[in-house]
Amino acid sequence: MNRSTFSLVAILATLVLAGCAIRPMPEYEKDPTLPQTAGRLQVTSGITWRTETMIFFTAHLGSYLYRTQVRSNSSPAEFFQLKKELFQVLAETPENLIPLLARHLGERYYTVHDIFRDEKEGIFHDLLAPNLEDSVRQIIHQFEEAAPTLRAMAAEHLPLPRLYRALGEITLNRRLVEIMRQVAEQPELLPASEDLRTLVQEAALFNFQLESGEGAQILRQMLHHQLMDLATAFNLTSARVLQDFLASALNIPITLDLHEGQNFFFALMQEHFPPLAARSPRDPEAKELAQVLIRVAEALNFNPNRYLQLLT
Domain ranges in the chain are 3-115
Lowest-confidence pick of 40-54, 157-171, 179-193, 241-255: 40-54
Classified as helix, coil or strand, 21 is: strand
Contacts of 298 by beta carbon, 8 Å cutoff, 6+ apart: 304
* Burial class of residue 276 (count of CB atoms within 10 Å of its CB; 0-12, 13-18, 19+): buried
Report the sign of the C-alpha dihedral through residues 12, 125, 105, 24, in that order. negative
In whole angstroms, what is the distance from residue 44 CA to residue 38 CA? 20
CA angle at 307 for the pair 303 and 312, rounded to the nearest 5°: 130
Convert the pLDDT of each residue in 27-53 to its tens digit. Answer: 545 555 556 778 887 777 777 787 878
Asked whether 97 and 89 are in contact (CB, 8 A), the reply is yes
Range among 52-56, 87-91, 93-97, 241-245 with highest mean pLDDT value:
241-245
Task: Taking residues 88-100, report their average pLDDT.
Answer: 87
CA angle at 78 for the pair 25 and 97, rounded to the nearest 5°: 95
Task: Taking residues 73-79, report their average pLDDT.
Answer: 81
Task: Taking residues 253-273, report their average pLDDT.
Answer: 90
Q: How far apart are the first and last CA of the chain?
A: 58
